[in-house]
Amino acid sequence: MALSFAGNGTITGLSVGGLPDGCIQSADLASGTGGKCLQFLQFNYSANTSSSSTSWVDTPLVIAITPTASTSKIWLTWNINISGTVNTVGAAFQATQNGSAIHIGDASGSLHQVTTQIRFKSYGEYEFETVTDSFLTGAVGSTSTQTFKLQWKRHWGSSAMYLNRTQDQSGSDRPVGVSTISVMEIGA
């Protein structure tokens, strides 16, 4: 079908995908079109692991994204299932971007700078808690791959922390779960 241009600005005969690649550039778009999701990636971790480290160590929740534009920002979000013995462990978490901690509290003496934390006060052996957080980075500044990791450490107590499982697995009613980390490139 041939293209037809009407006097009112209507074009007929153009099919979806009918324009050649590269014929519309970002400068051709109306202003105020930023804030759109340009890409979305997610990693689900369904195995389980534990740690007793009092120093930051990587969890298995790691994800990398290659931005399409240096002006883009990255929306990072995670959902983790964790357990530990009641009143004997506190778990702290921090997010990193390319190896540097992000989205943590301001330094204040010897206090722990963390993204989020949890201390198990009831039934921690038999069920897990779900910890979630999200964060929007500043402009990435390049189109190089950005690697995000969620790290954890024991910041209080003496027991281990357990990811995706309960500390006590002796009963048939004990849950196992899945933890997730996601990134979304947001256009400027």
Is there a domain that residue 45 lies in?
yes
Read off the CATH number of the domain in which 130 is found: 2.60.120.760
Structural domain including 121 reads 36-186
Is there a domain that residue 127 lies in?
yes
- Rounded Cα–Cα distance for residues 150 and 94 (Å): 6
What does the pLDDT read at residue 20?
65
Question: What mean pLDDT is reported for the chain?
Answer: 87
Is there a domain that residue 24 lies in?
no
Given pLDDT bands bounded at 50, 70 and 90, which one contains residue 88? confident
Is there a domain that residue 30 lies in?
no
Rounded to two decimals, the pTM is 0.79
Is there a domain that residue 73 lies in?
yes
Is there a domain that residue 44 lies in?
yes
Is there a domain that residue 19 lies in?
no
Per the structure, the count of domains in the chain is 1
Mean pLDDT of 62-90: 92
Given pLDDT bands bounded at 50, 70 and 90, which one contains residue 61? very high
Structure tokens that stand for 66 in this block: 């290659």
